[in-house]
């Protein structure tokens, strides 16, 4: 592999749909997170592991382009792709309609490591992340 990526399926639930009959824009961050957690599991660094490693990874930046609105019951494919990992974790997301493949939404998130004890921002990713990504890429 020369790139890490993963896809999950999400069906838009009733409780995510707003009074305009579309999935409310803020709910997409849940869909991104489902794909992000799947991606982090690929590098054996999901939230419990993060915590155990002594680092938090808050999201410090995000950008989203909503191309087509999603509706109740629509099946979406949410793809997450690891773009950067050496100094920070940048993940790109692409949401498509699961049956037609039409592009629905495009986004990215940026996370940085914070030492959980000292609350200090890390300007380089902790060794465990770099090692785990490189191992996953060899598979």
Judged by the rule CB under 8 A, the positions of this chain that interact with a copy of itself are 13-15, 17-22, 24-27, 29-30, 33-34, 37, 46-48, 51, 56, 58-67, 69, 72-73, 109
Closer residue to a copy of itself, CB minimum distance, 2 or 21: 21
Residues 6+ positions from 115 with CB-CB distance below 8 Å: 54, 55, 122
Contact 39, 108 (CB under 8 A): no
Nearest distance from C-beta of residue 13 to a copy of itself, angstroms: 6
Closer residue to a copy of itself, CB minimum distance, 47 or 90: 47
**Length of the chain as a residue count:** 139
Closer residue to a copy of itself, CB minimum distance, 3 or 117: 117
Closer residue to a copy of itself, CB minimum distance, 17 or 76: 17
Please write down the HEC assignment for all residues of 87-114.
CCEEEEEEEEECCCCCEEEEEEEEECCE
Nearest distance from C-beta of residue 138 to a copy of itself, angstroms: 25
Nearest distance from C-beta of residue 2 to a copy of itself, angstroms: 28
Distance CA 137, CA 123 (A): 23
């Amino acid at each position: 592999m020369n790139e890490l990526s993963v896809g999950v399926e999400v069906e838009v639930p009733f409780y995510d749909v707003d009074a305009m009959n579309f999935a409310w824009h803020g709910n997409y961050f849940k869909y991104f997170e489902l794909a992000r957690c799947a991606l982090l599991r690929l590098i054996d660094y999901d939230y419990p592991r993060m915590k155990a490693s002594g680092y938090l990874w808050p999201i410090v930046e995000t950008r989203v382009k909503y191309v087509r609105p999603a509706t109740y019951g629509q099946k979406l494919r949410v793809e997450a792709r690891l773009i950067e990992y050496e100094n920070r974790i940048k993940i790109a997301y692409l949401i498509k309609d699961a049956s037609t493949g039409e592009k629905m939404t495009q986004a990215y998130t940026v996370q940085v490591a914070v030492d959980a004890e000292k609350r200090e921002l890390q300007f380089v990713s902790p060794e465990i992340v770099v090692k785990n990504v490189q191992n996953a890429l060899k598979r």
